[in-house]
Amino acid sequence: MSQEMEYESKNLLTKKEYDILCEHLNHTKIKPKNQINYYFETENFALKDKGAALRIREKNGHHVLTLKQPHQEGLLETHEMISSETLRLWLNNQTTPVPKVERQLNELNVKREELKYGGKLKTKRIEVNYLNTVIVLDKSNYNNRIDYELEVEANSKEQANQVLAELLKTYHISKKNTPNKIARFYQSLES
């Protein structure tokens, strides 16, 4: 298990904006990494109500269960590697214990046994180092939708916001309301 603070700033993009950023940031020369996020929530959205989210990310043959929860400076992420068998069980709504994440769930008063598999989101991710940050361009596919997102990961929220603002200004991209991926995923189920 590991824990880390996540400082990021993000903005949804049109396909045209995504293509422009790929070209100007030399992302076209980088092979995208494929990843799948499997989302879990209670029937009454207890995690969402607490500003938290739970996913299993499949990437490069590895599976990581991640709980994201609010923290005064950003998001606290608790990660725990799981086996393919644990993934299979969770996808079949047999949420077996994963101790470190379960401890954090207990702090949120969310019972692991109440979690249900909600669905998956597939992403082609391109990352590049830029001005002491990581610029991420994501093309995500879920529930017959495709969206594009720019994300800046930094050492502080202020740095992430500043670099994002500079990129938006430089490439004439409007600031858009950008819910996180899990929120967009669940919103897509409602429409």
Average pLDDT over residues 75-89: 94
* Intra-chain end-to-end CA distance of the chain, in Å: 36
Residue 191: its pLDDT value, please?
65
131 vs 12, 31, 91, 157, CA distance in Å?
21, 21, 39, 14
Sign of CA dihedral 119, 124, 129, 130: negative
Nearest-angstrom CA–CA distance, 151 and 118:
24
Higher pLDDT: 133 or 75? It is 133
Is pLDDT of 164 > 80? Answer: yes
Q: With respect to CATH, is domain 2-173 assigned 2.40.320.10? A: yes
Q: What is the pLDDT of residues 2-54, one digit of tens each?
A: 777 778 999 999 999 999 999 888 766 788 999 999 999 999 999 999 999 99
Residue 1: its pLDDT value, please?
54
Average pLDDT over residues 115-141: 95
Residue 115, CA atoms < 13 Å, CB-side half-sphere: 31
